[in-house]
Structure 1
Amino acid sequence: MITFESLGLQEDILKAVTDLGFVSPTPIQEKAIPVLLGGDRDFVGLAQTGTGKTAAFGLPLLHQLNVKLRAPQSLILCPTRELCLQIANDLKNFSKYLGDVSIVAVYGGASIVQQLREIKRGAHIIVATPGRLLDIIDRGAINFDSVRYAILDEADEMLNMGFQEDINNILSKTPAEKTTWLFSATMPQEVRRIAQKYMNDPFELTVGTKNSGNVNIEHEYYVVRPRDKYAALKRIVDYNPDIFGIIFTRTKLDSQEIAESLIRDGYNADALHGDLTQQQRDKVMKRFRERGLQVLVATDVAARGIDVDSVTHVINYELPDDVENYTHRSGRTGRAGKSGVSIAIITGRDVGKIRQIERVLGKKFVKAEVPDGFAVCEKQLFGLVHKVHNVTVNDEQIEPYLERIYEEFQQMSKEELIKRFASLEFNEFLAYYENAEDLNVKEVRRGEAGDTNTMSQRSSGRFTRLFINLGSVDDFNRGDMLRYLCDSTGLKGNKIGRIDLKGVYSFFEVENDVLEQVQKSFTDLNYNGRSVRIEMSQDGDKRGGGGYRGNSGGSRSYGGGDRRKSYGDREGGGGRREYSSGRPSYKGKKSS
């Protein structure tokens, strides 16, 4: 067995690694550390998230650190503040026996004054997000003359987030004679170009297959109607009583609304997105790491840097546009050699995207069935039984109460006691799922009713396709357009079908029975001083609709009713959340 001792690291670092409980290196660590200990060769490392890349570059970096030189010797760039803090914290743990090593995390959302103060005191290693580091560079508050190593971590994600120009500006301020290490989960052309521009004959190491997913992760997808996505989400969560997972959404608004609906429906959930303050983000992440949350609802950007080894499930409430983002999402589970499940809740339109992801990852997705009410109740019941069976009993603390407990139950037989105890939680789910409908979309021949590609509504011709002279150049995305249409017409979201967003114009579909209302609503309407115009689409007045919202995520019905409504102080919650004039409304209606 390969050990850290055999890799050539100095004794003080090995002692810290042992304290952290590391026994043997991961594949990326085993192969990268001996190369990086040489210290004089550029390096490209490709490996999935959760494979130990921080230690792969952090340990050899510390091995070559000159502790006596109180100046920045290494610069590490990463995409998000969460990852920035995670890397800085790991390096501090690795270096605790090396003496007075100063590692400064530089990121937005925290006091720049405090960060400047720490840099001025003499930082050995700077871990930074590009935007905040540029702010500090512009103030002339940092000197890179002593930088020997520049490390780009999660390089593909930094480029996805639009940091290309920032990275160029920062690297141009560092010495020409330095060693550059680049780590990435995927290798798109943009990352390749950075390697070509800033590296000289780099050593390239790939662990696994390029752009592939973690082998410990199973991939599943569920096909449902757009309006049933939230109900399917709840049922999947209920079917996995021990779930500790992350739910991914496209937008900050979606993550907040889904989290609020889950909380209202009795789940331990919270949201993580870019609109939160740093204090709020830290609080949410602390609860998640301590397992105070059952599920975390997050956007792609906010979830970067979440390094929690025990995540059991990743749920894609909406698929991302890029396969690389799917790889990053799924990499939040199956970390540190553990197994995990990546789930996609999709409509019939997204089956083709699943096939595309399969081809890129080289992995087959399992088409799963949303469990019915009986299956969910059975899983919850035996989840409770297993929890009772494995509970740790504190004999000393419970001893004073046992006599009264025995008296309370002395008239019951063992069988009666077990039945009553199991029913305590089981009855809630039994009542909630008693008449639960089948949420699965059946796959039939193309063009038939219920076809997952055309959708039954779309073939019914009950939608009319309209042109509008607003588009992406007006700063609309599909979700914004949906809200604008609802605001302008007074319609609920389920009256509006597919939205095709273009540059200076768009197409949208409305149900035929509200067509006249829509046309009247756009009489003499202005947007930013410009007259808004709608008209019948020229490619057919009545084109099949179907309630599909493209990137806005379906019918945006999030509520759903409290699954625990049968108990007094747990009552409340629920109701279907729908868009009406762009604002959520609640209808006190239970949804299975």
Structure 2
Amino acid sequence: MTTFESLGLNESILKGIQELGFEAPTPIQEQAIPILLSGDKDFVGLAQTGTGKTAAFGLPLLQQIDMKVTKPQGLILCPTRELCLQIANDLKNFSKFVGDVNIVAVYGGANIGMQLRELKRGGQIVVATPGRLLDIIDRGAINFENVRYVVLDEADEMLNMGFQEDINSILSNTPDNKTTWLFSATMPAEVRRISKNYMTDPFELTVGTKNSGNANIEHEYYVVRPRDKYAALKRIVDFNPEIFGIIFTRTKIESQEIAESLIRDGYNADALHGDLTQQQRDKVMKRFRERSIQVLVATDVAARGIDVDNITHVINYELPDDVENYTHRSGRTARAGRSGVSIAIISSRDLGKIRQIERVIGKKFIKAEVPDGVAVCEKQLFALVHKVHNVVVNEEQIEPYLGRIYEEFNELSKEELIKRFASIEFNQFLEYYQDAADLNVKEDSRRSSEGRSSSGRGSGDGKFTRLFINLGSVDDFTRGDMLRFICDNTGLRGNKVGRIDLKGVYSFFEVENEAVDKVVTGFKKVERNGRAVRIEMSQDGGNEGGGGGRRRSSGGRRDEGGGRRRSWSGGGSEGGFRERKEYGGRPSFRGRKYEK
């Protein structure tokens, strides 16, 4: 077996990676590191996301740096802030025992002044996103005369994101005698063009097949009617109780709507898209890494650079327009030798695209059937049984309560106790999926039912009341945050809340008519950042867009927004729960609750 010691790395670097727990190099590391350690040859490395490319170029780069020179000697370009921070952090970990090496991360969405000060103090390796680096170049705040190595990481993604001109501008500012290392998951014509324009006779290494998918990923597709996509998505998630995954959509609006609908239906979900501020994005990613979020709904651009371990599933709610983007999506799972599943929920008209993707990735898709209600109930029941069987008992903490617990269950036999315990969860699923329809469409079916499914509920059905709240995006809320805030303070389930229209300093949200009093009562004594939260009822409750009319405050002042509103003081009546339906709410399952 090949070891890191046999690749030619020095003792200080070996000590760092040993402390990190690295035992054997991945194929891209095993083959690339000896070549890059030679230090004088341009290099093109093609390997899938999650195969260890950062260490493949990072370890040789660290070994080539002269620690006595405090000017940039290595420049690493990558597409997103998340990947920039990840690379910089990995290099710092690798170099723990190397000596006085300074690694500076330069990216948008953060204070440029602090980054300029870091560069001024001296950094041997600069990790940067193209846009922010160009800003720094324009300010004359970086000197590339000592740069000996330039690394283009995720080159295909940078080009897909429109950084072609930025990359050209940056490379034109670097010395002609530099060595360039290019790493990419795929090799489209644009990447090939960069290698021809900026590299001299590069050594090209391909791990796997060009543009191919990870061999450890299983690819599945489900054929449903377009209007049944959201219902199919929920069943697939329910059928995989331990899922930790990313749901890909085509648009920002769709990702937000699906995330809100999933939250409303009791799932730990949130959205990641380009309309979020950097602070909101960081908050979502922190919760996802901590697994407080079980499924993240994202667009292609927003998800680029996400490096989260142990993602079990990638779900394509919409297939990407560019077939190569499918490779990037599916590569978010099965990282570092693990296995994963990539799922596509399609209509009959998308079958041709599935065949096209199969040709590109060199793997066949498995046609799967959307599970019926009985199968989902069985899967969830035994997931609960396994969880109980494997739970770690805190003997010291539970001891004071055991006497009362034993007394409560004294008259029940072991068999009766198990049946009752299992029925608590099983009955909810059974009720929820009772008479659940078959969502599958046969491949030869060409029924004309192309209407899109509604992932949420609109305000025009007469069952909802539109309310005003004096909090908005300036209070660091996303629509998902607002939904959780409402549920946490009122005790409502998410499926009782309709459309949320987030503004700057205020917002509108809808609740079922019978829940209005409960909302108003719940917010009577609530404060946010030292400010009393105010709830008022909009008289023009049917204004779905939330922006066409004017609203009048209780003092007579007019503000822009939804319809007119008047002050509302609630009573104490609580609305009852409606009958559960598959397109509405979902039972409250253990482990899925609103995160604060």
> If the length of structure 1 is used for normalisation, what is the TM-score?
0.79
Between the aligned partners of 2:186 and 2:359, the Cα distance in structure 1 is 15
Q: Is the 8 A contact 1:556 1:577 kept in 2?
A: no
Contact 2:259/2:269, CA 8 A, preserved across alignment: yes
Q: 1:168 to 1:429 in 2, by over 3 A?
A: same
Distance 1:317 1:590 in 2: 21
SS in 2 for 1:374: helix
Q: Provide the residue aligned with 1:51 in structure 2.
A: 51
- Offset of 1:583 from its aligned partner? 4.2
How far apart, CA to CA, are the structure 1 residues paired with 2:286 and 2:448?
45
Q: Indicate if the aligned counterparts of 2:186 and 2:210 stay in contact, CA closer than 8 A.
A: yes
Pick from 549, 573, 579 the counterpart of residue 495 of structure 2.
Answer: 573
How many residues end up aligned between the 2 structures? 485
CA distance in 2, matches of 1:15, 1:21: 10
Unaligned runs of 5+ in 1: 445-450, 458-545, 548-553
Aligned-partner residue type, residue 327 of structure 1: T
Instruction: Return the offset for 1:577.
Output: 7.8
What is residue 559 of structure 2 aligned with on the other side?
none
Give the secondary-structure state (helix, strand or coil) at the position aligned to 1:336.
helix
Report the secondary structure of 1:75's partner residue.
strand
1: CA distance, partners of 2:395 / 2:580: 46
Q: Match of 1:384? A: 384
Partner of 2:581: 590
Match of 2:140 in 1: 140
Q: Does 1:178 align with 2:178?
A: yes
Q: Does 1:456 align with 2:427?
A: no
- How far, CA to CA, are the matches of 1:123 and 1:398 in structure 2? 53
> Offset of 1:421 from its aligned partner?
1.2
| Contact map agreement 1:559 1:574 (CA 8 A) in 2 | no
Change (3 A) 1:578 1:352: farther
Question: 1:420: Cα distance to partner?
Answer: 1.3
> What letter is aligned with 1:440?
N
2:130 paired residue number:
130
Do the aligned residues in 2 keep the contact of 1:574 with 1:590 (CA within 8 Å)?
A: no
1:285 alignment partner in structure 2: 285
**2:200 matched to which residue of 1?**
200
Q: Deviations for 1:401-460, whole angstroms, at most 9, x for unmatched residues? A: 22222112111111111111111222221111011111111233xxxxxx23xx235xxx
* Counterpart contact for 1:41–1:202, Cα < 8 Å: yes
After superposition, residues 98-497 of structure 1 pair within 5 angstroms as 98-444=98-444, 451-452=445-446, 455-457=447-449
Match of 2:514 in 1: none
CA contact (8 A) 2:106 2:133 kept: yes
Mapped contact 2:187–2:211 kept (Cα < 8 A): yes
1:7-59 alpha-carbon deviations (Å, 9 max, x no partner): 11111111111111110000000000000000110000000000000000000
TM-score by length of 2: 0.78
Question: 1:244·1:312 contact (CA, 8 Å) conserved in 2?
Answer: yes
Query: How far did residue 575 of structure 1 move?
Result: 8.5
User: Displacement, 1:329?
Assistant: 0.2
Distance 1:266 1:364 in 2: 34
Name 2:539's counterpart in structure 1.
none
Offset from partner CA, 1:349-398 (integer Å, 9 cap, x none): 11110010001111100111100000000000000001111111122222
In the alignment, the residues of structure 1 paired with residue 412 and residue 492 of structure 2 have an alpha-carbon distance, to the nearest angstrom, of 28
Relative distance call for 1:578 and 1:408 in structure 2 (3 A) is closer
Contact 1:239 1:375 in 2 (8 A): yes
Distance in 2 of aligned mates of 1:399 and 1:591: 41
Contact 2:86 / 2:307 at 8 angstroms: preserved in 1? yes
* Alpha-carbon separation, structure 1, partners of 2:48 and 2:209: 9
Question: Partner of 1:501 in structure 2?
Answer: none
Aligned-residue sequence identity (percent) comes to 78
Structure 1 135/303 Cα, relative in aligned 2: closer, same or farther at 3 Å? same
Distance 1:260 1:99 in 2: 48
> Partners in 2 of 1:103 and 1:159 — Cα distance?
25
Matched residue SS, 1:187: coil
Separation of aligned partners in 2, 1:321 and 1:581 = 34
Distance of 2:494 and 2:96 partners within structure 1: 50
Gaps of at least 5 residues in structure 2 are 464-482, 502-541, 547-561, 563-577, 584-596
- SS of 1:573's equivalent in the other structure is helix
Could you say if the C-alpha distance between residues 583 and 431 of structure 1 is closer, same or farther in structure 2, counting changes exceeding 3 Å?
farther
Secondary structure class of the residue paired with 2:335: coil
